[in-house]
A and B are shown apart, each in its own frame.
Chain A
Amino acid sequence: MSTNGRKKAIIYSLLLLLAIAAPLVVRDEYHRHIMVMCGIWVIAALALNLILGYAGQLNLAHGTFFGIGAYATGLLMQKAGIPFWGALPLGCLITAFMGVVTGIPTLRTKGHYFPIATMCLGIAIYYVIARWDDFTGGARGLFGLPRPEAIPLPFGKEISFDSTIACYYLVLVFVLVTIVVISRLVRSLTGKRLIAIRGNEDLAQSLGINTMRDKVMCFTISTFFAGLAGGVFAAYMGTLMAENAHFLVSFEMLLFVMIGGVATIAGPVVGGIVIPLLTEELQFLGGMRLVVFGLILILTIRFLPFGIVGGLRMAAMRIAGRGGKTQ
């Protein structure tokens, strides 16, 4: 067990070093930009995985919460003149608040009703954002959002976020925070309760678990991190379009989680990195890219229900000769 733990620690440190060194190796701005985007998607995918993978609730409004976080942060910066470092946490809190308000009625539903209710919710909020011209800029979007303000350091130095590489490290810090918080959460007793709810909600309830409280809490945390990804996205991109809150965004995040590997911490990380990179590689397919991803999604569900990470684990176990069963 302890050698296993040490092995894991070594692997994680190597991966972290790789993540830190990556933008130093990749020198052109465009690829650095894609790496920043990957980081933002990883945060959002980890958040979706929390509610989908662990609590077993398919939230089809996840992309909408990403959009709410982005618009909340962007509007706080632009209309209220609040600096990024204040607007971001406020934006996350607003998103989480929306999560509580919408989660309490929708999470009362079970089975089929929850994805349907959240899909309807996502469509409704998208139309509000796209049509509320005076407030959100409507279909034209929001422009000229400022980048995060520089962090002052002693001796008159500062960390400024004008360059892509600085933004990359900022996003990397947020990714690490997200990974630590979510992996601690799913390993805690609460995480076990969530998994019990995923397995059989009625049974979990009969064992004395307050399933509603746990689901709402999980949903709130999930939307909080979706808002975080959105807020960082807003400040990094500088512009927001209603399309950033479209329900198709939820579908893309679902791709990251499912193809990466649902119900693992590594899965959304892998998915959030591999799929955007693959998207770049498949540029030549033009509009057919998402068609290909749709097909990949369906085939993944059928043949590799735990995605890339689940598949790799299964392969590793086979090689180790312990029989090939996950979970």
Chain B
Amino acid sequence: MLGSIYAMVALGLTLIYGILNIPNFAHGALYMIGAYMAFFAITSFSAPYWLGLIVAMVILFVIGMLVERLAFRPLYDKPLINSFIVAVGLILIFENGALAIWGPEFRQIPPLSDAVIRVLGTTITMQRIIVIITAILLIVAVHLFIKKTRLGAAIEATSQNREGAQLMGINVRLMGGITFGIGTALAAVAAVLVAPILLIYPMMGAPVIGMAFVIIIIGGMGSFFGAVLGGYLIGLLETLVSSYVTNYFTEAIIFGLLVVVLAIKPTGLFGKEH
């Protein structure tokens, strides 16, 4: 379950990285905004769960495109460090904005179904099954979109060779915006899916974004399958560590692992030299 969430967040992050070459630190903050959007759609406008999910996805797609256009695009030909710092600025804006407007209290989206199912001697709630299935469907859909559609092919071309894609008449700037939108929308879906199980609060993005970066570093930055595989791997690892080793220091162990990986191979396990 956790793995599915991580896979989606990491996938969004890696798509954005592949095209724009920016590690978007604000990805977790946008994930959080996605959860709030669905929460208000569902509680204030009494929208059904799936509609809330789609609303959050669409809104975050637009926000993602706007962020790319307004914050990152002006810095394309500037030193990388400027983009990093702009991402930090975005975190400040989104997280503190959420805190100021919506307050620090925890909120919860009611689960779609309270049913509990017995499988092979263990129990699992229906909501978790929904998370797992939706995530798989969505990941397959994104994969098909990139491999089978013209737009997807244009995005892939841009990530492989920016100048080459531009020569072929692809609007690389627009591709950047669309990819940013898709990546952000994926994060929003992940947040809405997990919201009935975990809680919604302004800082909810921080632990997830940390994990997502661990995943894309281990999986190789910009790699589609690295992100998905890494997501499930880290999710599984986190669950194992917290159930069998320690519940308190799970994050520390996983981040420690990352530091060890980087010490051995500074470009990540499956990363290419650059």
A residues near B (Cβ < 8 Å) are: 52, 56, 58, 60, 102, 104-106, 108-113, 115-117, 119-121, 123-125, 127-128, 131-132, 247, 251, 254-255, 258, 286-291, 293-295, 297-298, 301-302, 305
Contact = CB atoms under 8 A, between A and B. Distances in A.
Interface in B105-119: none
Given A105-B260, A123-B210, A291-B100, A301 B252 contact: no
Contact of A119 (B71, B82, B210): B210
Given A106-B262, A288-B100, A120 B214 contact: yes
Contacts of B221: 112
Interface of B: 17, 21, 23, 25, 71, 74-75, 78, 80-82, 84-86, 88-93, 96-97, 99-100, 206-207, 210, 213-214, 217, 221, 248-249, 251-252, 254-256, 258-260, 262-263, 266-268, 274
Nearest to A104: B263
Contact of B255 (A110, A111, A123, A251): A123
Contact of B259 (A56, A106, A290): A106
Contact of B92 (A127, A131, A251): A251
19 contacts: A58-B84, A60-B88, A105-B259, A109-B266, A110-B266, A111-B274, A112-B23, A113-B267, A116-B213, A123-B206, A124-B251, A127-B249, A251-B92, A290-B92, A294-B96, A297-B86, A298-B93, A301-B75, A302-B86
A303 to B, nearest CB: 10
Contact of B248 (A106, A119, A131, A254): A131
Contacts of B90: 294, 298
B58 to A, nearest CB: 24
Contacts of B80: 111-112
Given A123-B206, A287-B100, A301-B86, A128 B93 contact: no
Nearest to B258: A120
A119 B212 CA distance: 12
A121 B210 CA distance: 9
A297 B213 contact: no
A121 B259 contact: yes
A30 B217 CA distance: 46
B247 to A, nearest CB: 9
Given A108-B266, A113-B217, A301-B75, A119 B25 contact: yes
B100 A297 contact: no
Given A127-B249, A291-B97, A297-B89, A247 B206 contact: yes
A33 B89 CA distance: 27
Contacts of A119: 25, 210, 213
B82 A305 contact: yes
A244 B84 CA distance: 23
Contacts of B251: 123-124, 127
Contacts of A290: 92-93, 96
Closest 9 CB pairs of A and B: A287-B100, A294-B92, A124-B255, A105-B263, A294-B93, A290-B96, A297-B89, A298-B89, A123-B210
Contacts of A286: 100
